Structure 1
Amino acid sequence: MRYTDIAIVGGGLAGSTAAAMLGRAGIAAILIDPHPVSRPDFRVEKLSGHCQLERFRKTGLAEAVLRSATHDGENWIARFGVLLDRKPSEQYGIMYDALVNAIRAEIAAGTEVIHAKAVAIRTSAERQKVTVSSGEEISARLVVLANGLNVGLRHALGIERKTVSPCHSISLGFDMAPVGRSAFDFPALTYFSERSSDRIPYLTLFPVGNTMRANLFVYREPDDPWLRQMRQAPEQTMIASLPKLRKLTGDFRVTGEIKVRPADLYVSTGYRQPGVVLAGDAFATSCPVTGTGTDKVFTDVTQLCNVHIPDWLSSDGMSEDKIAAFYDDPVKQECDAWSAAKAWSFRSVTIDDGMYWRAQRWARFIAGSGGGTLRRMRNRPVARSSAAPREPGPGFGRLA
C-alpha cells in the first residue's frame, strides 16, 4: 500500500496539469496513467485567445509549455472569399501529445507517477483506495478523476453520463500545403462558412512547426456520405463546400491522414460523493467548435489545486459537503455555463435558417469587415507632404 494525499487518475491534459500544480505547491500526489509518454490523439491542437491563455497562465505552467508551441502572430479572418481582417494573434499551435508531454515535463520530482491502469476505487468520507492493474493499492485522502471519456470507474461509483446532444459536431484534422508555392500568404487563417446548407461553422489553418495544420468543423451525422467524400477526395470536397476559399489559399493539397472525431455533449450525474472529484471531460464535455474545452480544463484544475484542495487538506475528512464546494464554485460554474451556451449558439448561427440567425450571420460578417477596416486605418502610415515648408503667415510668430 502506498499512501498519499491526492491520487490523480488519468494523465491527459487535466490530470497532468493537476499533478504539476500540486507538486509545485508541495502537496503529496500520485499520478496514475498507463502510458509513460502521452500518445498522439486528435484533441487540442492549438491554444488561442487572451482569456484562454490567461487561464493557462494561472496554472503556472504556460511560459514553460508554450516554448514547445508555434506562435503565428497574425490570423487572417475571411468569408465569401473576402479578407475581413488581419488580427494580431495570440495563437499557439501544438499537437495534443506534445502539449501533454510538455506539461508532464514540469511535474516535480517528488510527485510519483505510476504507469498502470486504475481498475477499482473504493471511497469514503475519510480515505480512498485505488487499485491499479499491477495489483498495487494506493491510499489517498482524495481521488481526482481526470480520465476523460473513460466511464468504467465512474459507473462503478454510481456516477452516470447523461447525453445532452449526440454527435453535436464533428471535427476533422489534417495537414494542408500550397501547390506551386513554398508557403501560403497568411501566417494563419480562419475561414467562415459561405452557406448554411454546408453545415460548416469554419475552417482554421495554423502552423505547427513547419506544417500548416487544418481543423475543419461540421454539423453532420456520423454516417453522412459527405464524410466519406472528404476522406476520398478532400480537396474537391472542400472546394465544393467552400467554393471561394481558394481566393485566399490558392490551389492546395491535403497531405497525410485525415482524422475524424465526433463529439457528444454530455454531463455527469450522481457525482456529489465523498472522497472523489471529477475534472475536465470526466465531469462534462464541450463542443470542439467553440474552442472552450481547454478553458474548462484550466479553470477546473486551477480552482481545484489553488483553492479547494489546500482548503480541504487543512481539516480532517473528505466529506461530500467539502467536495460540493468545487462543483458550486462560481468561477467553475460561470465557465461551464459559458462553454455550454457557446456550443448551442455556434451551431444555430451556422445551420439555422430563421430570420434571426440569418441576421446574426450577416451582422458578424459586417462587424468583422468593419473591425478590419478600422484596424487598417489605425495602422496606415501618415503621409508626409513633399512640398517646401511654408513661411509663417499672419498670426504665426517667429521665435527670435
Structure 2
Amino acid sequence: MRYTDIAIVGGGLAGSATAAMLGRAGIAAIMIDPHTTYPPDLRCEKIGGTQLPRLRRTGLEHELLRSTTVDGEVWEARFGFVVAKKPSDQHGAMYDTFVNATRALIPPGVEILYTKVVEVATGDERQRVVLADGEEISARLIVLANGLSISLRHMLGLQRRVISECHSVTLGFDVAPAGQPTLPFPALTYWPKRTADRMAYLTLFPIGAVMRANLMVYRPMDDIWFRAFRENPEATMSAMMPGFDRMTGGFRVGGPIKIRPADLYVTENHRQAGVVLVGDAFATSCPAAGTGTDKVFTDVERLCNVHIPTWLATEGMGRAKIERFYDDPVKVECDAWSAAKAWHLRSLSIDDGLTWRARRWARFIGRLAQGVMRRTHRPSTPTPAPQTRPESPEGKAA
C-alpha cells in the first residue's frame, strides 16, 4: 500500500498541470496514467487571448510557452477578401507536445505510475485506488482527470448527462503552399459565407515550420460531406470558401486528416466525499468556441492554489469540503461562460433567423471597420527586425 495526499488519475493536460502545481507546492501526490509519453490526439492546438492569463495563474506559463509557436499577426477573411489584419497572441502547439511539456515540469517529488486504475473507493477520510497490477494507493483525495473515460465514473455512481450530441466537429490537418515558397499570411481566420455550409470557421496558424489548420463544422458524423473532404480536401474547401484559392495563392492539404466530434455533457452526482473532477472529466466544452483550456486552467488553478491547501489543513475529506470547489465563483463563472459561448457560436454560424443574420452582418461590418481603422492609423515606421530570445542558464531559448 502506497500512501499519499493526492492521487491524480489521468495524465492529460488537466492531470499533468495538477501534478506540476502540487509538486511545486510541496504537496505529496501521485499521478497515474498508462502512457509513458502522451500520444498524438486531436484536441486544443493553440492557446491565446483569455487562456494566457488563466495559464499565468498556474505558474507554468513561462516554461510551457517555450514549446509553442507565436503567430504575431492574424488575418481575418470573409467572402474571399481580407477584412482585417490585427496583432495576435496565439501560441500554436500540438496537444501531445503541450501535454508532454507540462509533464516535464512535474518535480521529482511527484511519483508517476504508468499503469491503469481498475478500482476506486471513496469516503470521508481516506480514498482507495487499485492499479492494474493489484497494487493499492491510499490517498486523502482523488483528483479525477481522466477526460472522456467513463468506467471509474460508473464505479463511483457518477452519471453523464448529454446536453448536445455531436455539438461540433473538428478537422485537423496541415496546409502547405502550392507553386510558391510560403503562404502569404502569418495566420488566418476565415469565416463562412453561407449557413448552408454548416461551418463555424477555418483557422490556420503556425506550429514550427508547418501551417496547421483547424476546420470547425456543425454536421452529424454520418454526413457524406466528411467522405468528400477526405477524398478531395482542396476542392471541398474551395467550394465552402469562395476566394480561398486566390487568397492563399494555391494550397494543398498534407498529412493525415483527423476528425473529432465533440459532445457537450455534464457529470451529475459529482458532489461526493473524497473525489473531485476536473476538465473534461467534469464537463466538456465546444472546441469551436475555444474554451476548453480556459476551463482546464481555471479548474486546476482554483483546485491547487485555493482549495487543496485549505482542505489538507484539517482532518477529513467530506462532501462539504468538495462542494467548495464546485461552488467556487471563479469556476462557476468560467463554466457558464464556456457553455454560453458554445451555443452562441453555433447559432451565429448556422441559424437562419432574422436576428442571427443581423448579428452576422453586424459582426462582419464591425471587423471590417476595425481593419480599416488599423490600416489608417498604422504608423509608417519600418518594422523592427525579429528579436532572438535570450538564452536560459541551461542554454535553451528562454
Paired position in structure 1 for 2:366: 367
Distance 2:290 2:259 in 1: 16
Q: Greater CA deviation, 159-168 or 370-379?
A: 370-379
Paired position in structure 2 for 1:348: 347
What amino acid sits opposite 2:182 in the alignment?
A
What amino acid sits opposite 1:129 in the alignment?
R
Secondary structure class of the residue paired with 2:237: helix
Secondary structure class of the residue paired with 1:5: strand
After TM superposition, the structure 1 = structure 2 runs for residues 1-400 of structure 1, keeping only pairs within 5 Å, are 1-49=1-49, 51-381=50-380
Distance 1:341 1:247 in 2: 35
Distance 2:341 2:301 in 1: 22
Distance 1:324 1:188 in 2: 42
How many angstroms does 1:308 deviate by?
0.3
Secondary structure class of the residue paired with 1:193: coil
Secondary structure class of the residue paired with 2:67: coil
Structure 2: where are the runs of 5+ without partners? 382-398
How many angstroms does 1:84 deviate by?
1.4
CA contact (8 A) 2:180 2:249 kept: no
1:250-301: CA deviation from partner (whole Å, max 9, x where unpaired): 2111001100000000000000000000000000000000110000000000
Secondary structure class of the residue paired with 1:190: strand
Q: Greater CA deviation, 320-329 or 79-88?
A: 79-88
1:209-236: CA deviation from partner (whole Å, max 9, x where unpaired): 1100000010000000100000011001
Secondary structure class of the residue paired with 2:199: coil
Distance 2:247 2:323 in 1: 50
Distance 1:123 1:378 in 2: 61
How many angstroms does 1:162 deviate by?
0.4
Paired position in structure 1 for 2:393: none
What amino acid sits opposite 1:246 in the alignment?
D
Distance 1:197 1:244 in 2: 17
CA contact (8 A) 2:190 2:201 kept: yes
1:19-51: CA deviation from partner (whole Å, max 9, x where unpaired): 0000000000000001111110111111121x2
Distance 1:241 1:68 in 2: 33
Secondary structure class of the residue paired with 1:106: coil
What amino acid sits opposite 1:148 in the alignment?
G
Paired position in structure 2 for 1:394: none
Distance 2:275 2:317 in 1: 8
Instruction: Give the share of equivalent positions with the same residue, in percent.
Output: 62
Distance 2:233 2:74 in 1: 23
CA contact (8 A) 2:127 2:274 kept: yes
Distance 1:76 1:93 in 2: 16
Q: Greater CA deviation, 79-88 or 141-150?
A: 79-88
Distance 1:228 1:8 in 2: 39
Distance 1:333 1:374 in 2: 37
Secondary structure class of the residue paired with 2:125: coil
What amino acid sits opposite 1:344 in the alignment?
W
Secondary structure class of the residue paired with 1:173: strand
Distance 1:248 1:10 in 2: 43
What amino acid sits opposite 2:22 in the alignment?
L
How many angstroms does 1:380 deviate by?
3.8
How many angstroms does 1:65 deviate by?
1.0
How many angstroms does 1:241 deviate by?
1.0
CA contact (8 A) 2:171 2:260 kept: yes
What amino acid sits opposite 2:275 in the alignment?
V
Distance 1:279 1:134 in 2: 26
How many angstroms does 1:375 deviate by?
1.3
Distance 1:381 1:98 in 2: 39
Distance 2:221 2:133 in 1: 37
What amino acid sits opposite 1:12 in the alignment?
G
How many angstroms does 1:247 deviate by?
3.0
How many angstroms does 1:381 deviate by?
2.8
Q: Greater CA deviation, 138-147 or 56-65?
A: 56-65
Q: Greater CA deviation, 75-84 or 297-306?
A: 75-84
Secondary structure class of the residue paired with 2:348: helix
What amino acid sits opposite 2:337 in the alignment?
W
Q: How many residues align?
A: 381
Distance 1:220 1:334 in 2: 29
Paired position in structure 1 for 2:385: none
Provide the TM-score with structure 1 as the length reference.
0.94
CA contact (8 A) 2:145 2:281 kept: yes
Structure 1: where are the runs of 5+ without partners? 383-400
Q: Greater CA deviation, 246-255 or 7-16?
A: 246-255
Distance 2:16 2:302 in 1: 15
Distance 1:22 1:248 in 2: 47
What amino acid sits opposite 1:350 in the alignment?
S
Secondary structure class of the residue paired with 1:246: helix
What amino acid sits opposite 2:54 in the alignment?
R
Distance 1:77 1:48 in 2: 16
